[in-house]
Amino acid sequence: MQLFLVRHGESEWNAQHLFQGQHHSRLTVKGKQQAKRVAKWIAQRCQPDLLLSSDLRRAVETAQLIGKMVHLKPRYTKLMRERALGNLEGKTTRGKQTEQDHYLEAGKGYLPVNAERLAAIKQRARKVIAIILKSKKHCVVLVGHEAINSFLANALLRRRLQTISQNHTQVHWFKLNAKGKVEKYKLTVSVK
């Protein structure tokens, strides 16, 4: 199985430098262009037979553009959502000694009020992996967000959590054997 983990295109809130978490935000014109480029790039490498996406608007729009290019209707799931960031959602990612700064500086050691715990994201990632392995598909595209995609990549590689940055529409690519073990992989592939 080939597996493509795609981060959604640039959203309006990304362009405004706002924490999104599980807030719905539409793609910008640039985000739509990014999604079309990644769709073409994937179509040149395989014919997807499963396209699974987060149900958040920015990922939905990205998945729809990919689906149109590869002639496949996306399926949506809450399991692929971004990490809920609680009271940080809607606040600027730029600031001066605000709660946002503490979150950015402390990384996984700081939990904003009402934010999703890392263990919950890890559990969602495991469920997604179980779904794709059970599907027995040959070419799978997952459209998600930086946090869930990072957790998915770490789980596939069977390693402790490491932050794996992923810019908009960058791809993590995996080749899995029949037992779901990674044979080859390439992280943060930039699509041009």
Q: Which of 79, 175, 80, 178 is nearest to 133 (CA)?
A: 178
* Catalytic residue, candidates 8, 145, 168, 172: 8
Residues 6+ apart with CB under 8 A from 121: 83, 147, 148, 151
Catalytic residue check, 8: yes
Q: Say if CB 120 and CB 147 are below 8 A apart.
A: no
Residues 6+ apart with CB under 8 A from 165: 146, 150, 188
* Catalytic residue, candidates 61, 82, 116, 146: 82
Catalytic residue check, 17: no
Q: Which of 123, 74, 92 is nearest to 19 (CA)?
A: 92
Q: Which residues are catalytic?
A: 8, 82
